[in-house]
Chain A
Amino acid sequence: MSDHRTKTAHPIPAAAGIGLRSPHIQRVLAERPVIPWLEVHSENFFAAGGVMLQVAEQLRVDYPLSFHGVGLSLGSADALDVRHLSILRGLVHRFEPGFVSDHICWGAIGGVHSNDLLPMPCTEDALDLMVERVQQVQDALGREFLVENVSSYLQFHDAPMSEWEFVAELVRRSGCGLLLDINNVYVNSINHGFDALTYLHAMPGRAVRELHLAGFTRKELAMPLLIDTHSAPVDAQVWALYAEAVRLFGAKPTLIEWDQDIPELEVLLAEASRAQAIADDCLAIPA
């Protein structure tokens, strides 16, 4: 396996940042508020030219940047989208982000895209494929890639592994970094009925590079399902789980995501401050 220790001009600090979305871009550029780091969606910068690439050039002057993808569809059974990967590689070479990531999921088959993060069956075949794909991506980018656990609303019959076993094994075998989404662990623990702490304790601590936090909504069906809408404040249970993650893995770059019904920038920054305070608290040396 090749060595993917990452050299970057803009390392991401072990502090709480925010996902930067279009309603806040102009304000952040104009006011340059103090934010330890920013994460953007890679695909928003998939352009030959124009305003978004200028935005990235300006942001990287003052902020460490993380490029977080939603469209690579790593787990497609038929083929990896090499065109998508090649555009991503161009961006990564140009902007040298501190992190580059996408999801443990699939979204396309036969060249048709759902543009969604669909769940992988936790089988040996699916794991083998994901390991191969992550290695292919790391080789193409020439650096460490992070994979993120997704929220899901169904599981498949006959899956021999738990999701946490699948995630841990993928990270161990492919040598990639882990972007652990605490909200997604909690959402899945409710949707599929497992203990979220079991999941956290199974994670390979040394590979955890980044933590995600976001809000969900509740859908009342025959049994309640949590939907990962990124449209609300972080839930109390998720804050508690985050504290546990900090105790387990230490201080990690942590990100507040908010993608629908996006509030004022201050609300996101307040959520980031709260994450920072929880992390500081967990790691404070008792007097």
Chain B
Amino acid sequence: MTASPSLLELQSGFFDAIFGRSNAIERWVDGAGLEPAARLRIYRNAVASTQIEALRSAYPAALALVGEDFFDAAATRFRLRHPSTSGNLQDFGKAFPEFLANMPEAGALDYLADVARLDWLRQESALAADVAPLDGNAMHTTLAANPARLWLSLHPSLRLLSSQYAALAIWQYSQAPTSTGLKLDGSGQRVIVWRAGQQVAMAELDAASFVFVEALADHSDIDSAHMLALAADNDFDLAACLRSLIAQDLISAYCTGDNTDAIRNQACY
């Protein structure tokens, strides 16, 4: 028998066994009445089951759409291809929607990946930072002074998804199916996800509002975002859109800048 493995070799070999790559570690396992492989299998099964359960919990709509057997088979393949990289299971599975999108067996469910993306955005939103709500009166005073440029910071829990499928309607149906079924007209949906109080909320946005919020999230100032929104829809109502964002506490801060060197001379509130 060769020299005892180092701790690093032992742990690497243990991972090879539980991720199904090699059983070389078996000779260092004391069977004590059982096959070493049977003892390693307990760990292999436990690790798989914990990680699959974490994906089930992060992807409730995807699970409901494909059923447990299909989901577990997909999760089993996924966790070997994209292993967990955190001791916190809430971090595990971000790449799962993309994996589903490229999974040949899921080809018939072309909307599945976007519904799964919504699952993940909901989890991100739920865990995002808290911020104190904005003082609306102070903002009105600042706006009255007519600053040259104005930037808005959106709430950390805000997420956006643009889907060519009715991802929101399908997500909602998957969690509360009705006997009448789901009637879709083939159009896509643009979805905003945020934390309202302590609950994750979702709503559909029109094309121009989506472009506007997306531009703000991308750090455009209001005028530039407004321009992009008008390009998407000439009838875009800036005031109405801002009012709904403020009403949902989705604007958490704002910055103003002067004409000459707007970005360097920002004042943030």
Contacts and interface: CB of A to CB of B under 8 A. Distances in A.
Interface string A145-172: 0000000011111100000000000000
A47 B14 contact: no
Interface stretch (B46-54, B62-70, B219-227, B232-240): B46-54
A84 interface: yes
Nearest to A192: B32
Interface residues of A, number: 50
Contacts of A154: 29-30, 36, 39-40, 42-43
Interface in B115-163: 126-131, 156-157
A115 B130 contact: no
B33 A125 contact: no
Given A112-B83, A115-B84, A157-B28, A43 B128 contact: no
Contacts of B34: 221-223, 225
A73 interface: yes
A286 interface: no
B102 interface: no
Contacts of B92: 113, 115
Nearest to A70: B87
Contacts of A38: none
Given A78-B8, A84-B88, A221-B38, A115 B198 contact: no
A81 interface: yes
B169 interface: no
Interface string A75-118: 01110010010010000000000000000001111111111101
Interface string A198-239: 000000000000000000000101110101000000000000
A112 B50 CA distance: 15
B38 A84 contact: no
A48 B8 contact: no
A41 to B, nearest CB: 10
A112 B84 contact: yes
Nearest to A114: B47
A109 B15 contact: yes
Interface in A129-157: 129, 153-157
B16 to A, nearest CB: 10
A125 B7 contact: yes
A26 B18 CA distance: 37
Interface stretch (A50-58, A242-250, A268-276): A50-58
Report the 5 A-B pairs with minimum CB-CB distance, sorted nearest first.
Answer: A71-B87, A49-B130, A48-B129, A154-B39, A47-B127
Given A71-B89, A110-B15, 19 more contacts: A48-B128, A49-B127, A50-B127, A72-B87, A76-B11, A77-B11, A78-B8, A81-B87, A109-B8, A109-B15, A115-B54, A115-B84, A115-B89, A118-B11, A123-B7, A125-B6, A154-B29, A154-B43, A225-B34
9 contacts: A70-B87, A71-B88, A84-B87, A111-B85, A112-B84, A113-B84, A115-B89, A153-B39, A157-B28
Interface of A: 43, 46-51, 53-54, 70-73, 76-78, 81, 84, 87, 106-116, 118, 121, 123, 125-126, 129, 153-158, 192-193, 219, 221-223, 225, 227
Interface of B: 4, 6-8, 10-12, 14-15, 18, 27-30, 32-36, 38-40, 42-43, 46-47, 50-51, 54, 83-90, 92, 126-131, 156-157, 195, 198
